[in-house]
Amino acid sequence: MGNRVYNFSAGPSMLPLEVIDTAAREILDFDGSGMSIMEMSHRSKTFSRVIEDAERNLRTLMDIPDDYYVLFLQGGATLQFSMVPMNLLGKSGKADYIVTGAWADKAAKEAAKFGDIRVVASSKESNYAYIPKVEAADFRSDADYVHITYNNTIYGTRYPYIPDTGDVPLVTDLSSAILSERVDVRRFGLIYAGAQKNIAPAGLTVVIVRKDMVGGAPANVPVYLDYKTHTEGASMYNTPPAWCIYVAGEVFKTLIKDGGLETVERRNRAKAGRLYAYIEGSKLYSAPAAEIDRSLMNVVFVTGDPALDKRFVAEAREEGLVELGGHRSIGGMRASIYNAMPEEGVDKLIAFMKKFEDANL
């Protein structure tokens, strides 16, 4: 442990200590191969086992049915803002987006290059402080898909419900919530997530896509951006991000050993619940996000005085509580408390908040 800090960064973010330990231990000699995963052919038997185990364990954790592919890709969640419309706008060329933050807005704007995109609902007028309520009748029935951003990393909001889209497939950016709670994969046509929030180092993107959603890309879609290339190549059409997949696999094993997503969700609800309860009861801090829409992963709060916020972040850093500054677009504070943030880290943060409040009220 030594001088490790409590890192509240929104991403890249903390990884479980036992996974870092394992990776460090195996870095010179993975499983008797005499080399590390970083140096190993992705076509080797040893690596095949790593990627197959990772996929199987992710399927177990998220209860992913057999009629879905699991892909390990590169390009971040951002490349999915392009790949989703490039692949899925094959029928009517229409898609409906709900805009609940900067990432959702980027996804919608990118999609508009490829088809007829309608923003069905947005909470921009409130600086994205809540999740709009929508129902099936709000969507175009001939849309090729509906897109939502399940957890809004910057604003600290999260869907308290999965929108009913009727027969239209639902697509979600799950980057900052994947594996933090149980999510019913069957409600979605496609789920994507950059790994660096809750799974692995940056450089890996997980895509979970229903099999019937793949294969409809127009002929002029670049081969690398067609999901079919990657489903047919079992995520190994070209060299995959092998190291990230290995670390992701170790994280999956840890989560299964710890009792799966039911346990993880219970722990995350407890961590976030304690923090929000403290904020609610305090005189100095407030959380801008609507209460029922509050994120379990990114807890956004302010004192109301930008200069005091800055001092909070600086003094917290002195105590080994780092990266508590809000996103550069909104300021204030943000505590990202992903799976790997121990309960102790949250308790230390609350203790610091109390001390800071006592000194500054």
Ligand X SMILES: *Cc1c(COP(=O)(O)O)cnc(C)c1O
* Chain positions contacting ligand X, by CB under 6 A: 11, 76-78, 103, 149, 153, 173, 175-176, 194, 197
Spatial contact of 122 and 257, defined as CB atoms under 8 Å apart: no
Complex with ligand X: residue 194 or 288, whichever CB lies closer: 194
Complex with ligand X: residue 231 or 298, whichever CB lies closer: 298
Q: For this structure, is 197 an active site residue?
A: yes
| Burial environment of residue 131 by CB neighbours within 10 A (0 to 12, 13 to 18, 19 or more) | buried
**Which residue in the list 96, 144, 173, 309 is annotated as catalytic?**
173
Question: Per the structure block, which two tokens stand in for 299?
Answer: 């807890």
CB of residue 123 vs ligand X: minimum separation in angstroms?
15
CB of residue 101 vs ligand X: minimum separation in angstroms?
7
Complex with ligand X: residue 77 or 279, whichever CB lies closer: 77
Spatial contact of 9 and 325, defined as CB atoms under 8 Å apart: no
What is the distance between the alpha carbons of residues 47 and 72, in angstroms, rounded to a whole number? Answer: 14
Complex with ligand X: residue 103 or 356, whichever CB lies closer: 103
Complex with ligand X: residue 8 or 103, whichever CB lies closer: 103
**Which residue in the list 21, 45, 96, 103 is annotated as catalytic?**
103
CB of residue 267 vs ligand X: minimum separation in angstroms?
21
CB of residue 308 vs ligand X: minimum separation in angstroms?
27
Spatial CB neighbours of 218, under 8 Å, sequence gap ≥ 6 = 86, 90
Q: For this structure, is 173 an active site residue?
A: yes
Residue 206 main-chain phi, psi, to 5 deg: -95, 130
Complex with ligand X: residue 110 or 226, whichever CB lies closer: 110
CB of residue 212 vs ligand X: minimum separation in angstroms?
25
CB of residue 348 vs ligand X: minimum separation in angstroms?
24
Q: For this structure, is 103 an active site residue?
A: yes
**Which residue in the list 144, 197, 226, 309 is annotated as catalytic?**
197
The catalytic residue positions are 103, 173, 197
